[in-house]
Amino acid sequence: MKEEENVYKNRLQKCIDIVFPEFNKLFNSKYGIVYMNILKMFGSAENIANTDIRTIRKCFEIEGRGNRISLTPERLKECAGSSIGISSSAEVIQIKHLTAQIELIEEQLTEIDKKIEEFSIQNNSPILSIPGISHFSGTSILAELGDISNYSKPSQIIKFAGVAPLHYESSQFNAQHTSITKKGSKYLRKTLYQIILPVIRHNPVFNKYYQLKISQGKGHRCAQGHCVRKLLRIIYHLLKTNQQFDPQLLR
């Protein structure tokens, strides 16, 4: 669903580049409430320029406290009037459709995240005690791994995740870039590589291990791979013993 949203966002940006190429420069970030409502209501620089300022102000009134933006309705109308954008009714229709689709997906993702968090709290898995693992990522890992009793040793889930090293490493061989198998669950592997940086950042145990691998001459991606395998070994242990993560036991 997130990938579908990204497709819609890419298409939306292409449309904006045609009808109002200066639009994004007026905002600190994209896809906020005012940003989306301006696109939904007007869809082009020409429509904004030809609209009464009182109507334009309505797009700004719903922005709640704490979400204020520096852009004013007057500034928006001025920029729209001097825009080099090309007027196109087809692009306007596209923009209004795409913004509606993006907002719908955002609502669905928010609801899914809420349900996942509720399930995760009820499940109370010990892997959530690992700093850097969220309810969403933790549930994704558990869903891909399935029953931990199906694995008799950590190397099996490392292989299942497709992150086992291909090349032999020893004191005589110390590769900066060690390839991985990339077999097994691509979804689990993707999740692991998405969360490993937050885990390294928020978890002193993993941060120290990452720095150790870097000091040994490993490249960034290779050091990440070592951390992913360490994470899987810890996940295996926590699920097998139903224990909470304790950094003191890993020092």
Same domain flag for 139 and 243: yes
User: Per the structure block, which two tokens stand in for 27?
Assistant: 């905002």
pLDDT at site 169: 47
Q: Which of 63, 87, 115 is the last residue of a domain?
A: 115
Contact 188, 144 (CB under 8 A): yes
Using alpha carbons, select from 226, 119, 238 the residue that is nearest to residue 177.
Answer: 226
Mark whether 97 and 195 lie in a shared domain: no
Section 16-34 average pLDDT: 94
Per residue in 37-64, pLDDT (tens digit) is: 999 999 999 999 999 999 999 998 865 5
Together in a domain, 132 and 217: yes
Q: Please say which residue of 72, 87, 115 terminates a domain.
A: 115
The confidence score (pLDDT) of residue 69 equals: 78
pLDDT above 70 covers a percentage of the chain that reads: 90
Give yes or no: residues 153 and 105 share one domain: no
Q: What is the pLDDT of residue 172?
A: 46
Instruction: Indicate if 132 and 46 belong to the same structural domain.
Output: no
CATH of the domain at 21: 1.10.287.4070
Q: What is the mean pLDDT of the segment spanning 85-103?
A: 94
> What was the pLDDT predicted at 68?
65
- Amino acid 99: pLDDT: 96
Least confident piece of the model among 58-62, 78-82, 194-198, 214-218: 58-62
pLDDT exceeds 50 at position 66: no
One domain, residues 57 and 110: yes
| Same domain as 227, residue 133 | yes
| 98 & 156 share domain | no
Q: Rounded to 5 degrees, what are φ and ψ at 202?
A: -100, -5
Per-residue confidence band for 82, with pLDDT thresholds at 50, 70 and 90: very high
Give the pLDDT confidence score for residue 171 in this predicted structure. 46
Q: Over the chain, what is the mean pLDDT?
A: 87
Asked whether residue 160 carries a pLDDT value surpassing 70, the answer given is yes
Which one has a higher pLDDT value, 70 or 98?
98
Q: Residues 92, 56: one domain?
A: yes
pLDDT at 178: 53
pLDDT for residue 2: 80
Per-residue pLDDT at 112: 82
Average pLDDT rounded to a whole number, residues 11-34: 95
Give residue 88's identity as a one-letter amino acid code.
S
Q: How far apart (Å, rounded) are the C-alpha atoms in residues 202 and 81? A: 48
Instruction: Give residue 17's pLDDT band: very low, low, confident or very high (50, 70, 90).
Output: very high
- Residue range of the domain that includes 21: 2-115
- Tell me how crowded residue 20 is: count the other CB atoms within 10 A of its CB: 29
Tally of domains in the chain: 2
- Residues 130, 242, single domain; the answer is yes
| Same-domain status, 153 and 238 | yes
Question: Tokens for 194?
Answer: 């998405």
Q: Are residues 39 and 151 in the same domain?
A: no
Average pLDDT, integer, range 87-106: 94
Proportion of the chain in helix, strand, coil states, percent, rounded to 5: 65, 0, 30
Q: Please state the rounded mean pLDDT for residues 120-129.
A: 82
Instruction: Give the separation between CA 196 and CA 104, rounded to whole angstroms.
Output: 30
Look at residues 115, 133, 156 and tell me which one is the last residue of a structural domain: 115
Out of 24-28, 128-132, 170-174, 224-228, pick the least confident. Answer: 170-174
* pLDDT tens digits, 173-186: 455 555 555 677 88
Start-to-end CA distance of the chain, whole Å, equals: 40
